[in-house]
Structure 1
Amino acid sequence: MEYEWLGPALFLAAFVLIFLGYPVAFSLAGSALAFAWIGVELDVFPVGILGAFPSRVFGVMSNQVLMAVPFFIFMGTTLQRSRLAEDLLHTVGLIFGARRGGLALAVVIVGTLLAAATGVVGASVVAMGMISLPIMLRYGYKAELATGVIAASGTLGQIVPPSVVLVVLGDQMGVGVGDLFRGALVPGLSLALLYGIYVLVIARLRPTWAPALPKEELPASRSELSGRVLRVMVPPLVLIALVLGSIFAGLASPTEAGAVGSVGALVLAGISGRLTRGVVSETAHETMRLTAMVVMLLIGATLFTLVFRGLHGDEWIQRSLTSLPGGRVGLLIVANLVVFGLGFFLDFFEIAFIVIPLLSSAMTKLGFSDTERVWVGVLLALNLQTSFLTPPFGFSLFYLRGVTPREVPTGAIYRGALPFIGIQLFVLAMVALFPELVTGMLQSGTRP
């Protein structure tokens, strides 16, 4: 077919603009309009196809699944801005502080809880770094262990439900978000468990790397600690249980559960006496900023996809992916390699809106069932989580570097992340080899 190079050229042009530093949403939309004009001039692009763009944008705005994104962002940001997350970390630190590695173990536990409450990687890493890193360094923790455990625990927001990543992934792959939440539960909790085991092993083998808290820093009595645990830990745990439980039990959709979680976070902030006008304003601003970014990305990606298909680029992608050696296995290997590589340079939302729909069409051609697509979705989320941790470009490492004291070198952050990358790769391999770790939860759950 003449001019069939236009589709691949559009794809390449968009990525060149992105890597040059231009905003992703405008890179996608701008390159699409430029190639649409070229296609019209060459009489190979049906200009009438652009008439579908307004209805596509309206479909984005009325997408019930994506409405869950601002709700979960609002819920997590409220817990952070009202310093409830800080209280949580301090309390868990007191519970385990008497033993070596207790603070690092507290970081893993609170990182898991924050992941279940926020679902946003950047927010979790920054919050954990600002709250826990100065304390760990003050009490003699080795910088590599402290930064590594914070970066790894913060990225749990990528995979532990109710992750915003999984919401967007479900929408783009055409699978139920509730199914993705259920499928990601075992891999996500397995990661957290292995992080905790690693911390305890290191604390035993290298006691000076992870000392216990001094006795004067611990609660004076068990009753004092118990009262603090009930007051600080139980309410957020109940909120998380309500949100996830309602989704898993089929009582609410992710969007409805997110709305309940947002109201619940406001109630918890109010009970603690920290629901100030400033907290609500900062939370609303952050929610609006992130949501606007996601929507603009999706609008740009919608125009890009429309023009890409008008230039028959989707047929080129589909032929390339479905003719790979190994068939379905070959597609999975290439997809994971591509997503892992792009995870060094692009945010997840950008990858989800550009690459995932193309992979999804190839999976449809190769006959992937809905259950298999959920498994692939969890694999891709785990893969991206690993790339977020991998030096030298991992996003989580950059987030952490921004809140790390100058006396901690960047090399220490990179070295600290390496053992946790090994744990991530192990879990990724287990999920790839044993899909039942994901699909078993789908078979036992009630689908909303």
Structure 2
Amino acid sequence: MPAWRRGGARHDRMSSLSPRTSMAPGTSRLAASRDIPEEVICYTIFSRLPFKLVTCLKTLSKHCYRQLTSDTTFAAEQARLCPSCPALIHIGLPAKPKGPCRYSLDVLSLTPAIVGVPSPGLDFLGCAIDDGNLDLLSSSNGLLCIRYTPYRISHPTPPHAILIANPATQQAQPIPGAAQHLDKSRAVGVGLVFNPSDGSSAYAHSKFMVVQASPSEFTTDTSVEFHFVIFCSDTGRWTMPDTTVTANIAPICNKVVYSGGVLYWDYQQHLLWFDVTRSAAGVIEMPGKLQGSTFDERDRHNIDASNNGTLMCTTIGKDGLSMYHLVKRGDDAHCWELKHKKGWKDIVEKSGDAFQFCCHSMKLRNGWQSKFYERWFVRPLGVESGRWVYLGVRQRWKTSDRVLRYDMDTGKVDDTGKELGNAFDMGPVFGYRNSMAALPPI
């Protein structure tokens, strides 16, 4: 008899012998436990478990299923207490589409037991995904901000839409007035702010904010003035505070990240920030610009939020990989601190097996490890749990990104076996945590 069947049989015998654990018909195992109160099991224990495990627990009983799917207090606690940023997520197209193009969610993680979504499909968004473009704009505590742009099928072109979605619960809703208030240009970033309520008050409820940093006008030939357009779900209104920032920035946004109460826009050599609580804003130079390095088309960087709310910047250059943390020196003063640095020669030598797909043709050459970065296009995709840096490696524009994972603690690289869509898929990858919280009402 298998071990699990023996254990189950033993449990049944013990239950029949002990009146304390016997259950009346229709009574759940949770309700039968007198050692741990049901509130503690649901709101303190279950809410801290990895998402996939929580979804499996729904099969324990009908009572447990109702608690894990319909209890708003549990959903709020799970969204607040579940493991943060256990994976990365992005929206992409298949490498070899068959029939109509189908966008899908791709979760990057070597620990799939910790995180997951019910389905990679995006039909729950409620829009014709085969008749338009989908762009992932931002991610915040389990919610995603997605832009849908229809193809030109009529004149005038149908308006674009901004959607707030929770892939864990398969819920989505459009933001009213987005087409009128937000610049639909791909060059301008839209950020999402979502902090789940702890449900401690009967009047407490979650809300989200959508914020766009929009360049309003050129004050000089080189300087741009930015203002901030904000939508808040609890009021259902669009506002524009008086806060503005004027800086010498090329207004092409690579990525928007929410970390520690502040939104950050990556403008290549500059970082634009906006404190959503104080309505304060400013500009910070990126680590590469502070060091006075000249721009190289092969140099890449990526910003991410750590588990403790610190902003991280991963830089990739000819000298190797570096990790910086943004440290606050005051309300509006910041500086970058170098936390990790490793050269390509050391990285490739220590994990040669992970680079077999790209280095086999260079092994007979002297110094083939140092030639790796010159021959292959490498970009940082994101950081998982503040420790693992995911790298996209491709042979310039000939192939799609092969996904590798670099461990900053051990210096070892693993090949995840994944590839990112087609060769033209360069969309940003965001930190993601599963959240069972319902979408805040508008």
TM-score, with length taken from structure 2:
0.24
Structure with greater proportional helix content: 1
Tell which has more relative contact order, 1 or 2 (C-alpha 8 A, sep 6+): 1
Q: Which has the larger radius of gyration?
A: 2
User: Whose strand fraction is larger, Structure 1's or Structure 2's?
Assistant: 2
